[in-house]
């Protein structure tokens, strides 16, 4: 079974992503653009949230009106670059709960090493939106989803900014049940596990650490 990939080709997202890719884009602009794109992605990703009818009163009449139902969604950010996507998604899901997974790639083996994991309670009743800008080798995404599955979360969606074909393949080999949402699928990975053409190191560009 191969998993679902939702390619989000909205022109505003594509335009903003192009600005982010450019090497001369400042840290300030990079951060602002990631937040804007994440908000727009948040809108796409939440299209199928369940709703239920509630009885309300308008100034003129009572009515049954739809509201999002169920327990609060959890946005899980993979540290550190996933932090850059949180605020944008929170703009459309302001009362979402937030989880953090700390993981870094061992630069030699490219294997993810977990150093932090904190999620809300009652995960079995919650939908998870897992955010990390770069789906490169897919190793840390695979590990992050496996950890979230241990909490018996009701469902998981993976949202990124850029994906490599290799990463998508690896991800769906392990988690065919988890859909990927991305605005772009680039050509390939280089020998260091960076996406080509990509945008460089998302964490460094976001936090200005290089
Ligand atoms: N992580 C990044 O920040 N950039 C890449 O191209 C791959 C992984």
Which has the higher per-residue pLDDT, 110 or 184? 184
- Structural domains in the chain, CATH included, are 9-47+72-207 (3.40.50.2020)
209 CA → ligand 1 middle, Å = 14
109 catalytic residue (yes or no): yes
On whether the CB atoms of residues 145 and 174 are closer than 8 A, the answer is yes
Distance CA 8, CA 84 (A): 19
On whether the CB atoms of residues 157 and 141 are closer than 8 A, the answer is no
Structure confidence by residue, pLDDT tens digits, 108-146: 887 889 999 999 999 999 999 999 999 999 999 999 999
Q: Which atom of ligand 1 is nearest to the CA of 202?
A: 3
């Amino acid at each position: 079974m191969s998993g679902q990939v939702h390619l989000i080709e909205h022109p505003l997202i594509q335009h903003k992503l192009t600005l982010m890719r450019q090497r001369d884009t400042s840290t300030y602009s990079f951060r602002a653009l990631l937040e804007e794109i994440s908000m727009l992605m948040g809108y796409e990703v939440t299209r199928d949230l369940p709703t239920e009818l509630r009885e309300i009163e308008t100034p003129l009449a009572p009515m049954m009106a739809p509201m999002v139902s169920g327990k609060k969604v959890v946005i899980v950010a993979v540290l550190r670059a996933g932090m850059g996507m949180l605020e944008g998604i929170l703009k459309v899901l302001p009362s979402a709960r937030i989880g953090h997974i700390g993981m870094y790639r061992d630069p030699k083996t490219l294997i993810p090493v977990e150093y932090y994991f904190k999620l809300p309670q009652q995960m079995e009743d919650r939908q998870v939106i897992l955010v990390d800008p770069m789906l490169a080798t897919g190793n840390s995404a695979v590990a992050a989803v496996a950890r979230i599955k241990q909490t018996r979360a009701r469902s998981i969606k993976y949202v990124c900014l850029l994906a490599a074909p290799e990463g998508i393949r690896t991800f769906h080999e392990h988690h065919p049940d988890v859909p990927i949402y991305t605005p772009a699928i680039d050509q390939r990975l280089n020998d260091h596990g960076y996406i080509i053409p990509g945008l460089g190191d998302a964490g460094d560009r976001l936090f200005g650490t290089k």
